[in-house]
Amino acid sequence: MKIGIVGSGAMGSGIAQVASTAGHEVILSDTREAALETSKNKLQKIMNRLIEKSRVEADEAQAIQGRIQYTTDNADMASCGLVIEAIVENLDVKKQVFKQLESIVSEDAMLASNTSSLSIASIAAACEHPERVLGIHFFNPAPLMKLVEIIPAIQSDPKVVETARQLINNWGKTTVLAKDTPGFIVNRVARPFYGEALRIYEEGIADFATIDWAMKDFGAFRMGPFQLMDYIGNDINFTVTETVFKAFWYDPRYKPAFTQKRLSEAGYLGRKTGKGYYDYSPEAMPPAHTGDTKLGIKIVNRVVAMLINEAADALYLNIASRDDIDLAMTRGVNYPKGLLQWADEIGIEECVARMDALYHEYLEDRYRCSPLLRRMARDGATFY
């Protein structure tokens, strides 16, 4: 099957590499000639690095590059069986592109969006045949991140969803099925990792370095929240948070933090600008953490309780299955273990007690315990 990819930015280029590596002919389009040129050059560099590391043979690398055709004309996608859109995150522009694509591809072609925050139903609504539209959400960088969220819109034909899921599985990815709701699985369930860490900082309970140290040393997370936000970029991370917050009709659980907004406004975006929560200039000394074990454990317990609560609530609201929620967090953002499995290990009653302690302390809706956890604690149930 020939694969079309619209938008040759960070995501489109990565997805093109994945599809071509899986053996597909790929048509990669962009409105800007310069973006196509950059994409082509980047792939050349990536392939050279993979050859150096003996991860691919030179002729294989050449074949991968050879299977990608670069174009500014979406009309070249006429014979594609699946087109994945990865353009600017703007609903009107995406709708226009889907409408145009439908007039180009054959009747049985599948159309997918890689959107992080828009509803698939709203994109599908632009089409005459919305049943062929679905969300296929890759993570950045697409060639390295194992997880792909598959999102059926209410209009999607289940057969289309199943075919697309099988295809992406064959590309060596782990797929999970998510309901068409803001943030899907990962960008919803992960919010407290950033948000609660920021809240703990804003309350003056601990500094960035201590929170990061605690989450890594006692929580076994690969990166601390501030380190990760600097890596992702504070502009991008803040936008995702703000988008999810608004999309949930201002649910205080997802409230963004002024600390991050100000960093973003100041241009302290993280690694890419040399400064974020941390200073990345060559002469900068990494700040020391306090080494206070008791405080460290308290921080981890609080953030993990919030994460578990979010995961439990996602299950409660049928956003995804138990297994897919745990897979999404271990494969999509490399959490040390699935949050629902973690809940079982901590004990459901203890999870409820931690949430209730926060709730009684602050009397904020932000800290409300998921009804599912409360019910499970009452019944002595476990997730596994």
Distance CA 273, CA 230 (A): 9
Q: In what order do the strands lie in the sheet with 80-85?
A: 68-71, 26-29, 2-6, 80-85, 110-113, 133-138, 147-152, 174-177
Kindly tell me which of 86 and 328 has the beta carbon lying closer to ligand NAI.
Answer: 86
Burial of 344: CB neighbours in 10 Å, binned 0-12, 13-18, 19+: middle
116: annotated active-site residue: yes
3-state SS class at 273: helix
137: annotated active-site residue: yes
Kindly tell me which of 114 and 210 has the beta carbon lying closer to ligand NAI.
Answer: 114
| Maximum CA extent, the chain | 63
Kindly tell me which of 31 and 344 has the beta carbon lying closer to ligand NAI.
Answer: 31
> Could you tell me the smallest distance in angstroms from the CB atom of residue 122 to ligand NAI?
13
Burial of 282: CB neighbours in 10 Å, binned 0-12, 13-18, 19+: exposed
Single out the catalytic residue among 8, 13, 114, 116: 116
Distance CA 310, CA 191 (A): 8
> Could you tell me the smallest distance in angstroms from the CB atom of residue 90 to ligand NAI?
8
Single out the catalytic residue among 85, 102, 149, 310: 149
> Could you tell me the smallest distance in angstroms from the CB atom of residue 283 to ligand NAI?
30
> Could you tell me the smallest distance in angstroms from the CB atom of residue 73 to ligand NAI?
10
**Footprint of ligand NAI (CB under 6 A):** 6-12, 29-32, 35, 86-89, 93, 97, 114-116, 138-140
Single out the catalytic residue among 187, 234, 309, 370: 187
Kindly tell me which of 122 and 356 has the beta carbon lying closer to ligand NAI.
Answer: 122
Single out the catalytic residue among 137, 156, 289, 309: 137
Q: Which residue is nearest to ligand NAI (CB)?
A: 9
Contact between 97 and 6 under an 8 Å Cβ cutoff? The reply is yes
Task: Indicate which residues carry an active-site annotation.
Answer: 116, 137, 149, 187
